[in-house]
Amino acid sequence: MTTVLYLAGAGRSGSTLLASILGQSPSVVDVGELWKIWRVMGEPGRRCGCGAELVDCPFWRSVAEASPGVLEADPELLATMARIGRARGSGGLWAQLRLGRSGTEAYADRLRRLYEAIVEVSSARVIIDSSKMPGPAMVVESMDALDVRVLHLTRDPRAVAASWTNRKDDPNGAHHLEAREPGAVARAWMTRALATETLVRAGADAYRRESYERFATEPEVVVDEVLAFIGEPAGSPAFVGPSTVLLEATHSTGGNPGRFERQERIVSLDDRWRGELDPGARRTVERITTPMRQIYGYR
């Protein structure tokens, strides 16, 4: 049975880097944010983690050959995808899935075929899907043919808000992540944390919560723990020093532009928010994210 490690949580929580590190293990494949691949495939200039344009990437071409039609988008698929993406906090989609009335069967079937084709092409046993959002997680969990493990990455919402105030430019492609207002980031953080705790956790074959802060402070320890969580041996080949990684290209489809970086990099805690976030924005974020923030230990 194929294992899918679904990375859940807010954006800017270190998921792109963690997925890339995990993807260096021989039986693990990092494919990025898979849930929306049908939309991004059609966007001109959209690049794969390997640097090639997505439509030209040899890996994704092989996947399309292994399962003809699996990457072709149609209006119905795109509409279902948009609906799944909007299911951020409400239990509506969760209840519909439990009752078998979600109308997402065609989408789920396509995603299952895509997972199968990825396994065939990569020979991997574990797929890292860093889609992060709760809606797609609920759909993935409903697939009986998969062993679904959810790793919920948390990060201090004040750091996430500060991170979103800086636009991140993509050095190799036309796409970048736009800046977002702290209050909106805080509300999204809260909604996603609650949905992941209450809806996603309930359906996962296995669930684990980990903080960005701990990952950034002791990366090798955390990576070994996550490898154990997905049934892989300890000792990621990514590490060339206790906190230094050398990452080979993965075929991740969308995520933080950091995924294009090829050089040796040091995994370290980014807590610049303490100096960057102005007091008003900080108070706004703290007010909106209480009490989940305190439950996670972000005092």
Where do contacts with Zn ion occur on this chain (CB under 5 A)? 48, 50, 57, 59, 251
Q: How far is the CB of 57 from Zn ion (least distance, A)?
A: 3
CB nearer Zn ion, residue 51 or residue 103: 51
Q: How far is the CB of 235 from Zn ion (least distance, A)?
A: 26
- The Cα–Cα gap between 41 and 31 comes to 13
CB nearer Zn ion, residue 48 or residue 150: 48
Q: How far is the CB of 148 from Zn ion (least distance, A)?
A: 24
CB nearer Zn ion, residue 10 or residue 54: 54
CB nearer Zn ion, residue 47 or residue 125: 47
Q: How far is the CB of 51 from Zn ion (least distance, A)?
A: 7
CB nearer Zn ion, residue 80 or residue 250: 250
Q: How far is the CB of 59 from Zn ion (least distance, A)?
A: 5
